[in-house]
Chains A and B, each alone.
Chain A
Amino acid sequence: MLTLLFDGVAYGMLLFVLAIGLSITLGLMNFINLAHGAFAMAGGYTLVLLMQKAGWPFLPSVLMAFAVSALLGLLLEVTLYRRMYQKPHLDQVLFSIGLTFMAVAAVDYFVGSTQQLVQLPEFLKGRTELWDGALGMGHYRLAIILVCALLAMGLQWLLVHTRFGAQLRASVDDRRVAAGMGINVNTIFMATFAVGSGLAGLGGALGAEVLGLDPIFPLKFMIYFLIVVAVGGTSSLTGPLLAALLLGIADVAGKYYVPKLGAFIVYTLMVLILMWRPQGLFSRGNT
């Protein structure tokens, strides 16, 4: 049972890191970016390619995954996304789906469609059993939990205790007023989008081992990211965190205890939560 909880938490933390960029982008720029999964995929493939083709060790590759995705996000924001801000939501959805399609096909073309396998460094392999097997912790998942927890705390600190964070929160609350107060909203958007995409890439790299990595990764997992953002709301950091943890634990526990129902449980849970609290579980109440 405890092992399940552990697995669920690890899965949830991973989802959090993957989805937080989407939540911030949605809340800040009011842009539904369905291509978010593609940035995650970019990070995952950066990791795999660096390790397999260039022989890089694990940790630097993970950092590079963040950097590459962030850079990619930056470039795309400045060149393409910026033109789409004023357009209606539906057009944004279509645009980002188009980008995703292109990414999926491009990766398939250049790398191939087989599942990519990550060779973990020795210190991350292995498992610790506590209390006579009642709690089994894979070292890799343990590492994921730690890293994601640190990231979450770091992000929180960034949002609350730095000037940038304050400007970001102001822009999310009311863009026009923030611009009126002299905050350079464009730069904030650019930086935030880059960081959000970078985090997605980091999540994709860390998750390659746990979630698998193939060209259709964005399409497979987009639903989960959307669930985290919808249930968690876009107005805080803790909202998506708790939503992701809830989702992770529910998914793992559901598949264990009632394998016949599997993913059913997650979807039903989500629909019920959203019907009860349409603003998301942890939102402040205004859309």
Chain B
Amino acid sequence: MKTLLNLRALFIAVGMCSLSVQAQEVFKIGLILPMTGQQATTGKQIEAAARLFMAQNGNTVAGRKIELIIKDDGGIPDAAKRIAQELVVNDKVGVLGGFGLTPLALATAPIATQSKTPMVVMAAATSIITEASPYIVRTSFTLAQCSVAMGDWAPKNGIKRVVTLVSDYGPGIDAERFFKERFLLNSGQVIESLRVPLRNPDFAPFLQKVRDLKPDALFVFVPSGAGAAVMKQFLERGMDKAGIKLIGTGDLTDDDQLNDMGDGSLGVVTSHHYSAMHPTAVNKKFVEAFKKANRGMRPNFMAVGGYDGMRVIYEALKNTKGGKGGGDALLAAMKGQIFESPRGQIFIDAQTRDIVQNIYLRRVEKKDGELYNVEFDVIKEVKDPGKSK
């Protein structure tokens, strides 16, 4: 037993020594992404964006060489947790990043806290994530931000009776809750709230049900990549012809899939924080560079989350002169960052460590022969309503 104690003490001591030596060494960023499985497209987009950022901004910051380690968690929380542990203990990463789904981020949170490693959430979108660990910083978005925006817009545009359809997990439940609250506040009526399983969803029966309920509009949230299936079913059931409008958060008209959805998706209104057609010079440059580096693939909101996440990490490194002071200093340098992202102006709230950004209302239109989400309205500097209470 004594030997055990001594051994553990030895390991801790060695660990701490290597931490202090780190200032001269390579700085490692560990990205845990779903590269295989149902959310593989998320992993691909974020990886591409991260690599693009490094290609554009070099791989040396404040005198330290940056090494990017990418690991696949397959969308399984157990795996994400173990990989995070290994990255922190074995590879001694200075920052963890990625997290394609809420359960993956939640599972990893204790590791970040225990090891005092900042964790940059680039994709997951449930409000409570930032509360799971004081080391979490988010550069993606929250469903609450988007749903509330839609809950405001819809009643002003002739939509009084709505059925909500969301995927049955954290972000979906958030979307449903916040949309409902805001919608009801604006004297709207939510006839029914349907929840679809996260894995292998089959939308046909659910959409048939919606059709039979005959609302003014259907509000949808599904994770990135599943929007096409919903759209297909919506059109197939002739719901647009039956006078039911389709509204939802921008995950529905994900830039990754939008162009393949066909003209049936024209006119769909969504609320989101990023569109590939956002008309600023910064975004145009970003989209062009991304397409060039990735065989014409269009960046989506996942990519922008990864891109900005890398920027937050780089800026923090610069401000702490290469990460002096370890995880705590880096974290402090991440809070309060404000800059222009391809999506618009964003800043990381120092109190909640969550992202504050503009939420746009967009309509699907055809531009240059391709389908895009064209912004027609904006709500500026939306704080996550999930916390402002």
Hey, which bits of chain A sit against chain B, CB under 8 A?
A: 3-4, 7, 11, 108, 112-117, 119, 127, 129, 136, 138, 140-141, 209-210, 212, 215-216, 220, 251-256, 259-260, 262-263
Question: Is B44 in contact with A113, judged by CB distance below 8 angstroms?
Answer: yes
Q: Taking A114-B256, A117-B232 as contacts, is the C-beta distance between A255 and B37 under 8 angstroms?
A: no
B261-294: CB near A (< 8 Å → 1, else 0) gives 1100000000000000000000000000000000
The distance from the CB of B176 to the nearest CB of chain A, in whole angstroms, is 14
Bound-state CA distance A130–B260 (Å) is 31
For chain B, residues 226 to 264, give those with C-beta under 8 angstroms from any C-beta of chain A.
226, 228-229, 232, 236-238, 241, 256-257, 260-262
The distance from the CB of A279 to the nearest CB of chain B, in whole angstroms, is 28
Question: Is B38 in contact with A117, judged by CB distance below 8 angstroms?
Answer: no
* Closest B residue, CB atoms, query A119: B262
Interface size on B, as a range, is 20 to 34
The distance from the CB of B241 to the nearest CB of chain A, in whole angstroms, is 8
Hey, which bits of chain B sit against chain A, CB under 8 A?
A: 36-38, 40-41, 44, 194-197, 200, 202, 204-206, 208-209, 211, 225-226, 228-229, 232, 236-238, 241, 256-257, 260-262
The distance from the CB of A276 to the nearest CB of chain B, in whole angstroms, is 26
Question: Is B260 in contact with A117, judged by CB distance below 8 angstroms?
Answer: yes
Question: Is A4 in contact with B261, judged by CB distance below 8 angstroms?
Answer: no
Which A residues touch B197, using CB under 8 A? 262-263
Bound-state CA distance A223–B155 (Å) is 43
Question: Is A212 in contact with B229, judged by CB distance below 8 angstroms?
Answer: yes
The distance from the CB of A120 to the nearest CB of chain B, in whole angstroms, is 9
Question: Is B208 in contact with A7, judged by CB distance below 8 angstroms?
Answer: yes
Q: Taking A117-B261, A119-B262, A252-B205 as contacts, is the C-beta distance between A216 and B236 under 8 angstroms?
A: no
Bound-state CA distance A209–B235 (Å) is 12
Bound-state CA distance A10–B317 (Å) is 57
Bound-state CA distance A24–B200 (Å) is 27
Q: Taking A114-B257, A259-B195 as contacts, is the C-beta distance between A209 and B232 under 8 angstroms?
A: yes
Which B residues touch A253, using CB under 8 A? 205
Q: Taking A113-B41, A119-B262, A127-B237 as contacts, is the C-beta distance between A259 and B205 under 8 angstroms?
A: yes
The 3 A-B residue pairs whose C-beta atoms are closest, nearest first, are A255-B205, A113-B40, A256-B205
* Closest A residue, CB atoms, query B264: A125
Can you pick out 8 interface pairs between chain A and chain B where the beta carbons lie within 8 Å of each other?
A: A113-B40, A114-B41, A115-B225, A117-B232, A127-B241, A136-B237, A220-B200, A256-B208
Which B residues touch A108, using CB under 8 A? 36, 40
Which B residues touch A262, using CB under 8 A? 197
Most A-side CB within 10 Å, residue of B37, B44, B194, B236: B236
* Closest B residue, CB atoms, query A209: B232
Bound-state CA distance A256–B206 (Å) is 6
Which B residues touch A215, using CB under 8 A? 40
The distance from the CB of A26 to the nearest CB of chain B, in whole angstroms, is 24
Which B residues touch A263, using CB under 8 A? 197, 200
Bound-state CA distance A252–B237 (Å) is 14
Bound-state CA distance A7–B44 (Å) is 34
Bound-state CA distance A88–B256 (Å) is 44
Which A residues touch B257, using CB under 8 A? 114-115, 117
